[in-house]
Structure 1
């Protein structure tokens, strides 16, 4: 489990920007202890605990990049076509055989090893055969053409993947190409998740006219799953301070992070905040983000605690921009940059200075062929349809006062956030 000090997040001062908040998170949270070795088939999405060093070069031998005919660069025709006897055939996977004599060519195929005495390959489309089954090669080809030298891609001994890197399918392919069968990764971080409130009920259970089905917990569990977490679903905790405190205390004993939604504001019925303070320490973060305030973070008996807002859109946005960096830090992963695309706005919107806002928007192709973004037509942090029917978020900085049609804005696709 993570073992954080009770005051590791402590700070004072005014409202903090998202950048300051993330910097604080990543500087104070360290990776959980524990590693394991997994097969390549189970490595996708895992965080490397050790560098991957190339045990051999790629490609491991010099080979042909095309189907054609190989010969020595010293024998290349200079002024006109020239005929060469064909002395062999090398297919992919075959031994190159004996050295090729001067003035001779060998039939070769893509990926086949180059024979000793050859260093250049003519593409089969550029040559022809004569009646004596000799290959007629044209002039003009440079020595070394169409050949892939050993180590052209990766040299033996090179660090190809660094510790902290989150494995992707292409990384798995690279490890396999190097002959590896397994990699050393960080253990999965253990996250306990629950929702709070008498006003919500689990899907499938009886619902009173004044209750809503719980959606946040399922959304957060899905987002945690994409980050490779080991998740414990604690369900819904009712508005009972003692029961919430007991659940928090128990969860902290077996988890690295406790993630909740709802109940962390300053209202009389916001019991989570009070319960966290009773069993651990809570720094109530005033983060300059919309939608999203309030967000809470603290420590309960060595485990990190993050409390997200109860409104679904606010919960989604704060998870993407605040909880996700914390989870990656605990997992020992490098924090990847959020990739935004500059696009043209096709809407107007006003905001106040002082906090960063994320506007739900959809991409569409304009008449001139370029892409533009259109704002979701309705406001409200409780509108799940606004997340389903849009493609991402338009990011408006702290100093922005709004958007007018035709302005260039930064667009964050949902794929870059989850």
Structure 2
């Protein structure tokens, strides 16, 4: 045990390794129209069935020429036109040019295109202000973007809006993808009320399910919302049994602490197996991970910020691996100079909500304020986490810290 290890708390790095150790990606596949495939993970490599572009084409509106025929003050008559979708395919007389538009097919024999801004048209033809021409000037050659047989997208890529037009350029109307993992989730606690209900004394609104649902969707999975379950062992057990039959992962918030009404951990121990419980992370110490007969289980803390951060930090890579998203990368970490102090005691890796900006080319960062695990406004204001190492204590203004930029799941 290290000098700053807290007895009974698993280091975050160990928990992250254990979370991923037994996860195998889903194998069920779907064939979807590309218009419906955003957010799904490719089940196979996509190799280009053709060259893109499929023919030499013009990068400019202008004139197709043969370079050795272009001379200063010597007009070239226009022999015809090559338009996008309507190429010039007639015999091309020598000492003439062809009017050509962007994207149009290059006439046979052409070795340069002169942009129209460098041309003057008269009754005698076209005179060019530019006569020193490079070979294939303003010509996009066949396969300039993708060659036939090239790997366009690798298996395990999660498709984004950037990928769909590229697939369409290959003439592919459908793709084979992995089905999205199903994540059943619910909140526990007699104090929780759904939105729209009046709050009685001691009650609060259930905010966790809304954040968890949004994260599950952003992680590329299908959410299954089972609502709010009261602190009743029999009802909780029935909900667990239903959830683990309907989903690949069961995700709960609340009930994994040490209070008298925190039953989730006990029920998990009866129905399945607890792999670990209690982590050296702040916020989010009472995080549980285990297995049910037919599903994985992650138990998030009940406090809103704790639930959100542990879902982002711990559940996100698990779901990425389960979804087969082999291209997933952890959020980017960058050193930054603090413009405010950060309270910290050694013993737990601390994710503090913060705002970074760039000042004279240097990343700087300051706290968003209240770092309580129940204060969600500071999360809403943030654009990064300041990640303070387990052994580190209080940080003063002017020190260097590591910041973790939010990835697309919470910044898009």
TM score, norm. by length of structure 1: 0.89
**Distance verdict in 2 for CA 1:378–1:14, change over 3 Å:** closer
Q: Does 1:339 pair with 2:323? A: no
Larger CA deviation: 235-244 vs 303-312? 235-244
Counterparts of 1:265-276 in structure 2, within 5 Å, are 265-276=257-268
Q: Is the 8 A contact 1:91 1:108 kept in 2?
A: yes
Q: Does 1:240 pair with 2:232? A: yes
Which residue of structure 2 aligns with residue 231 of structure 1?
A: 223
* C-alpha separation in 2, matches of 1:98 and 1:59: 22
Q: 1:316 is matched with which residue: 308, 322, 330?
A: 308
Q: Is the 8 A contact 2:12 2:279 kept in 1?
A: yes
SS at match of 2:289: strand
Q: Is the 8 A contact 1:340 1:411 kept in 2?
A: yes
Q: Is the 8 A contact 1:70 1:108 kept in 2?
A: yes
* C-alpha separation in 1, matches of 2:376 and 2:8: 31
Q: Is the 8 A contact 1:86 1:135 kept in 2?
A: no
Counterparts of 1:243-282 in structure 2, within 5 Å, are 243-282=235-274
Q: 1:27 is matched with which residue: 8, 21, 26?
A: 21
* C-alpha separation in 2, matches of 1:90 and 1:239: 74
Which residue of structure 2 aligns with residue 4 of structure 1?
A: none
* C-alpha separation in 2, matches of 1:285 and 1:141: 71
* C-alpha separation in 2, matches of 1:296 and 1:22: 12
Which residue of structure 1 aligns with residue 120 of structure 2?
A: 128
Which residue of structure 1 aligns with residue 191 of structure 2?
A: 199
Larger CA deviation: 100-109 vs 170-179? 100-109
**Distance verdict in 2 for CA 1:224–1:107, change over 3 Å:** same
CA-to-aligned-CA distance 1:60-99 (integer Å, 9 cap, x gap): 111000111111244455xx55432221111111123125
Q: Is the 8 A contact 2:331 2:407 kept in 1?
A: no
Q: 1:379 is matched with which residue: 371, 375, 381?
A: 371
* C-alpha separation in 2, matches of 1:22 and 1:173: 36
**Structure 1 spans left out of the alignment, 5+ residues:** 1-12
Q: Does 1:359 pair with 2:352? A: yes
CA-to-aligned-CA distance 1:12-59 (integer Å, 9 cap, x gap): x97544344333333320112311111111111111111111111111
Q: Does 1:67 pair with 2:61? A: yes
Larger CA deviation: 320-329 vs 83-92? 83-92
* C-alpha separation in 2, matches of 1:106 and 1:131: 15
CA-to-aligned-CA distance 1:286-345 (integer Å, 9 cap, x gap): 433211112111111120000011111111111111011111111111222312454432
Q: 1:349 is matched with which residue: 342, 349, 352?
A: 342
* C-alpha separation in 1, matches of 2:391 and 2:64: 63
Which residue of structure 1 aligns with residue 39 of structure 2?
A: 45
SS at match of 2:250: strand
Q: Is the 8 A contact 1:99 1:116 kept in 2?
A: no
**Structure 2 spans left out of the alignment, 5+ residues:** 1-6
* C-alpha separation in 2, matches of 1:19 and 1:171: 33
Which residue of structure 1 aligns with residue 294 of structure 2?
A: 302
* C-alpha separation in 1, matches of 2:280 and 2:69: 71
Deviation of 1:202 (Å): 1.6
Which residue of structure 1 aligns with residue 4 of structure 2?
A: none
Which residue of structure 2 aligns with residue 216 of structure 1?
A: 208
Q: Does 1:95 pair with 2:81? A: no
SS at match of 1:243: helix
Deviation of 1:131 (Å): 4.7
Q: Is the 8 A contact 1:71 1:119 kept in 2?
A: yes
Deviation of 1:401 (Å): 3.5
* C-alpha separation in 2, matches of 1:69 and 1:172: 33
**Distance verdict in 2 for CA 1:138–1:379, change over 3 Å:** closer
CA-to-aligned-CA distance 1:78-137 (integer Å, 9 cap, x gap): xx5543222111111112312534432211111111000102111111222345123324
Larger CA deviation: 114-123 vs 393-402? 393-402
Q: Is the 8 A contact 1:69 1:122 kept in 2?
A: yes
TM score, norm. by length of structure 2: 0.91
Q: Does 1:146 pair with 2:138? A: yes
* C-alpha separation in 1, matches of 2:335 and 2:79: 58
**Distance verdict in 2 for CA 1:369–1:284, change over 3 Å:** closer
For these two proteins, the number of residue pairs brought into alignment is 403
Deviation of 1:174 (Å): 0.6
* C-alpha separation in 1, matches of 2:225 and 2:363: 40
RMSD: 2.3
**Distance verdict in 2 for CA 1:300–1:413, change over 3 Å:** same
